[in-house]
Amino acid sequence: MATSAYTLEQLERRDNSKWTIVQAVLAPIQFLAFIISFSLVIRYLITGNGYTIANISVLIKISLLWLITITGMIWEKEVFGHWFLAPEFFWEDVGNAVAMIMHNLYFLARWQGWSNQAVMTLMLVAYTTYLVNSAQFVYKGIRARKQRQATAVSPAHHTEHP
């Protein structure tokens, strides 16, 4: 049997946090930026055209990843009491750390003078880590929604604390 995504107290903090809304807005924006950037990077790698716009899209994608990571850490502190690696979000945070490292290797590759082709290939690898991590968050969100629905349907499960 799967464990609950959140305790009732965590679920209440999550539902009342302004950072939950921020994350809910940023996640689809970042996903849209990913789709656009992924397409532009692939186009550049296949045709050799559109490097500037592909590069700009990569920088936007990295910026959005930083933004959602920082606001997500604030959210995690508010809901779970940890800035990062809360036991309840351990694997999502590990996945996020891997995605952050992979995305930010862009700057190291640029500094090391990698070719445009090599940098854009690196970004495809980074985007793969983002997809895996996104899948974890979607799964966690589906579990949380099911938990909220089950709690709403069965309020008898709420226990009163003295």
Q: How far apart are CA 156 and CA 151, in angstroms?
A: 8
Question: Can you spell out the DSSP letters for 9-63?
Answer: HHHHHHHH-HHHHHHHHHHHHHHHHHHHHHHHHHHHHHHS--HHHHHHHHHHHHH
| Residue 75 near residue 23 (C-beta atoms within 8 A) | yes
DSSP 159: -
Task: Please check the confidence at residue 1 and state whether its pLDDT lies above 60.
Answer: no
Domain boundaries, the chain: 8-152
Residues in contact with 100: Cβ distance below 8 Å, sequence separation at least 6, in sequence order: 65, 66, 69
Q: Calculate mean pLDDT across residues 138-162.
A: 62
How large a percentage of the chain has pLDDT more than 90? Answer: 60
94-134 per-position pLDDT tens digit: 889 999 999 999 999 999 999 999 999 999 999 999 998 88
